[in-house]
Chains A and B, each alone.
Chain A
Amino acid sequence: MRVNIGTIKSNGDGFNRIASIAENTKALLWDSVELDFSNCSFFEANMAAPLYTVIARLRAELNDVSASNLPADIERILKKNHFLTLFNMETLPDTNQTTLPFKIFKLTAGEQFSDYLDLYMNGKGIPQMSAALTKRFRQSLFEIFQNAASHSKSISGIFVCGQFYPQKHRLDFTIADAGIGIRENVRRYTKNPRISSCNAINWALTEGHTTKTGNQPGGLGLKLIKDFIRMNEGKLQIVSRFGYYEFTADSNSFVKMDHDFPGTSVNIEINTNDTNSYCLKSELSNNDIF
């Protein structure tokens, strides 16, 4: 089967396009799937992570997945970020060092994810960001990574990929999984089998809400990320099954997608020129906590 990839940007259309590819190939088993890039005029490199949710599921069903007709500039980008090694193609050196390459982590590999960030974010072409910004960004990525590890039940791991856009002073980082999705977790937890994907994302974003079982508090991670993104004037996108959520300092929108995204993908876009200190309650002392 030949599948037209089309143009994939880090927006609602891009995620909907990936979800559409997933739907069209859902029933395939022991088949051949050719991902045809001939109509792809643009592919934002961080979107390799959500695209891999489709490939992971196809490969789990023993389909042979290949990539073809890559336009030269897209091939260059996807070789630089190591995505095409998944199709036995070589990598290209990332001379501008603006890439956080595509990588698959096991659910328990939080420490390796830390090593990955050390390797690709320190002293490379990724911009010199303030220490406070770097710390909040990393904390946000760990919160997302561990959310995926705790809740996704993904059997194929967690897929990550990032790209720095120097002209825009923006860094996008995407963490995706081919797991059961937020909707399924929230439906099970709330015992409400009718909750929609958008409402499930909204539920998960509410401070204090967590689908973690056991008598433990939780549900702060996404709220903290939103607080950070608001101050940073960045962007947060959460896609899970039919739900698409986008948050910026001045917008907050849920859109039901036309197609079913096979898992969950969280993209954080940060403004790398930010000089905020991120210490909101610096007057707090050790005695004020409990």
Chain B
Amino acid sequence: MSNRILIKVADIIGSPLCISAEDGQKVFDKIEPLLKSGKQVTISFERVSMLISLFLNVAIGQLYGSFSEEEVRSLVQVEGLSGDDLDLLKRVVDNAKKYYTNPKGYDTAWEAEGEEDEQ
């Protein structure tokens, strides 16, 4: 028997639609304590019919706020994603790594521009 813990996303959120931040948080809340205790996890997207970046930002992107890239790489695997959904997850992961490298800088990178020209 594998030591990896299988996290079935569709079972956790009770739906094949991975479209809300709230559901993403439910998945994150399952993964985070397992990683904290050093467990290896496989996140399964079996039966998922729709996946958007908003969900993945919260469910998986947010992991980079608690764990290093090396920890995530060594402890987390995914399965059940088609090629284009893997591409989407990769975009989310790259965005999250960038965000957590300097979250404050990322948030305020946009300097005050434009002037009040409206009511």
Interface residues of A (CB under 8 A from B): 110-111, 114, 132, 135-136, 138-139, 142-143, 145-147, 149-150, 183, 189-190, 192-199, 203, 206-209, 212, 215-221, 224, 241-242, 256, 260, 278-282, 284-290
Contact = CB atoms under 8 A, between A and B. Distances in A.
Given A256-B117, A279-B87, 12 more contacts: A143-B52, A143-B53, A145-B19, A147-B54, A197-B118, A217-B62, A217-B64, A217-B92, A217-B98, A221-B52, A242-B118, A290-B76
Contact of B113 (A150, A195, A242, A282): A195
Contact of A286 (B79, B103, B112, B117): B79
B54 A221 contact: yes
Contact of B100 (A132, A150, A217, A242): A217
B61 A216 contact: yes
B87 A281 contact: yes
Nearest to B76: A290
A220 B61 CA distance: 11
Contacts, number: 142
Contact of B118 (A143, A190, A241): A241
B116 A194 contact: yes
B90 A284 contact: yes
A5 B98 CA distance: 47
Interface in B72-116: 72-73, 76-79, 81, 83-84, 86-93, 95-96, 98-100, 103, 106-108, 110, 112-116
A288 B76 CA distance: 12
A289 B93 CA distance: 7
B90 A288 contact: yes
Interface in B12-63: 15, 17, 19-21, 50-54, 57-58, 61-62
11 contacts: A110-B17, A110-B20, A150-B21, A209-B110, A215-B65, A216-B58, A217-B57, A217-B64, A218-B53, A218-B61, A285-B86
User: Of A142, A242, A289, which is in contact with the most chain B CB atoms at under 10 Å from its CB?
Assistant: A289
B84 A278 contact: yes
| Most interface-central of B87, B88, B98, B116 (chain A CB within 10 A) | B87
Contact of B57 (A114, A142, A183, A216): A216
B11 interface: no
B45 to A, nearest CB: 11
A142 B52 contact: yes
A220 B106 CA distance: 13
Given A142-B19, A221-B54, A290 B103 contact: no
B84 A224 contact: no
A284 B87 contact: yes
Given A190-B108, A217-B96, A218-B54, A198 B114 contact: yes
B92 A220 contact: yes
Contact of A203 (B73, B79, B110): B110
A154 B99 CA distance: 28
Contact of B50 (A114, A209, A224, A260): A114
A219 B54 CA distance: 8
Given A114-B50, A216-B58, A224 B91 contact: yes
B50 A138 contact: yes
Nearest to B80: A286
A127 B28 CA distance: 38
A131 B72 CA distance: 32
B110 A206 contact: yes
A173 B19 CA distance: 18
